[in-house]
Amino acid sequence: MGMIGGGRGAFIGGVHRMAAALDGQIELVCGAFSSDPERSRLSGADLFLSPERCYGSYEEMIRTEASLPENIRMDLVSIVTPNYMHFDPAMMALDHGFHVVCDKPVCLSLHEARQLRDKVKSTCLLFALTHNYTGYPMVKQARQMIAHGELGEIRRVIVEYPQGWLSTALEATDQKQAAWRTDPNRSGAAGAMGDIGTHAENLAEYVTGLKIASLCADLHTHVAGRRLDDDGSVLLRMNNGARGVLYASQISAGEENNLRIRVYGEKGSLDWSQMEPNSLTVRWPDQPMQVMRTGVGALYPEAQAHTRIPAGHPEGYIEAFANIYRNVAYCIQAIISNEPVDPLYNDFPSIEDGVRGMAFIEAVVRSGRQDETKWIRF
């Protein structure tokens, strides 16, 4: 694997590296870790990489790696830059024959996302988007319960992602993570809705197997001088007629990363929270409430295949992230060996999820900018 971004002072790059390395299936061999060539080389030295494979730019990395013998060059590129630096590196990597793992949202606009989708289709290369919350075993259990009709027809979806870290003008202190996330030139058209609202949107569609057909958004910016939304609520209409609510906020003081989804069907309901990821609560109208636990009992194979350690040993964020990287690695190995992929592991967010995410962002922004909030189909 080669990495673009994620150098000294970055947050998410380290998470990607830990996740990719967890199963021993992916080795970081090169990187362009910063737009500053010297910083990139120093970051590579921190990771004990060969100096000749610590590149000054992503262009240099992709071109040089493509010229190396097949048994030496990287197989995939991990893009962990701010949003505005996703599209060009991804397109170049695909053009040079490299698979791509990209942080979310996939790019800055729906137009760019569709161009990337076309490129992925024409190259037949893998493109994975790190909506890492889909990697949790109990999220996969919830998805399979719904897919197998255990809850009956889905009627209501409630998904929320509150954080509190941007309750004040943190970006004014030159805090790096706050600065780019509140800058429309680097983050895109949406703030909280782009950063974490897309996680909620993706989780709702992944768990239910449904698609958001239309939405009505109320966006607001609470912190004076901030240029992007930091709080919002969205009414959802799903493609089966179910109704829903999505709430994403980065000014909910005291909240950490409290992503939660509740799904209500005609036969029962389920409830999962990222703050307690090893538990899935299932409620029935005529039976006692159940609490399913990771690694305990007769779970669906999809949940078992993404469970790593015996029950009672907590699995969390890094393991869920690692499930995406492991699945990508297995798929690349199958491509190299010309063998079929086990369907249990052919499971990770794709470029299609990236297109859906950008369509969601653009629809939310359009609806939220109306003088009176309006329903937008997407």
Res. 371 pLDDT band, cuts 50 70 90: low
pLDDT tens figures, 66-91: 999 999 999 999 999 999 999 999 99
Residue-range domains of the chain with CATH: 2-129 (3.40.50.720), 135-309+355-377 (3.30.360.10)
Q: The tokens of 86 are what?
A: 């996703």
For residue 283, what pLDDT band results from cuts at 50, 70 and 90?
Answer: very high
Could you give the angle at the alpha carbon of 358 between the alpha carbons of 212 and 100, nearest 5°?
115
Residue 3 φ/ψ, nearest 5 degrees: -120, 140
For the stretch 307-322, pLDDT in tens is 999 998 988 999 999 9
Q: In what order do the strands lie in the sheet with 375-377?
A: 290-293, 279-283, 269-273, 260-265, 154-162, 243-249, 231-238, 212-220, 375-377
Strand, coil or helix: what is 249?
strand
Single-letter amino acid code for the residue at 134 = T
pLDDT in tens, 337-361: 999 999 999 999 999 999 999 999 9
Query: Encoding tokens for residue 358?
Result: 């950008």
- Concatenate the DSSP letters of all residues of 173-226 into one string: GT-HHHHHHT-HHHH-S-SHIIIIIHHHHHHHHHHH---EEEEEEEEE--STT-
Q: Taking the chain, what is the end-to-end CA distance rounded to the nearest angstrom?
A: 35
Whether the upstream peptide bond of residue 105 has omega within 30° of 0, thus cis, is yes
The answer to whether 320 and 136 have CB atoms below 8 angstroms apart is: yes
Q: Among 327, 324, 298, 296, which residue's Cα sits nearest to residue 309? A: 296
* Secondary structure (DSSP) of 150-168: TT-SEEEEEEEEE--TTSS
Q: What confidence tens digit (pLDDT) does each residue in 187-243 have?
A: 999 999 999 999 999 999 999 999 999 999 999 999 999 999 999 999 999 999 999
Nearest to 151 by CA among 263, 262, 268: 268
| Residue 342, C-beta contacts closer than 8 angstroms, at least 6 positions apart | 330
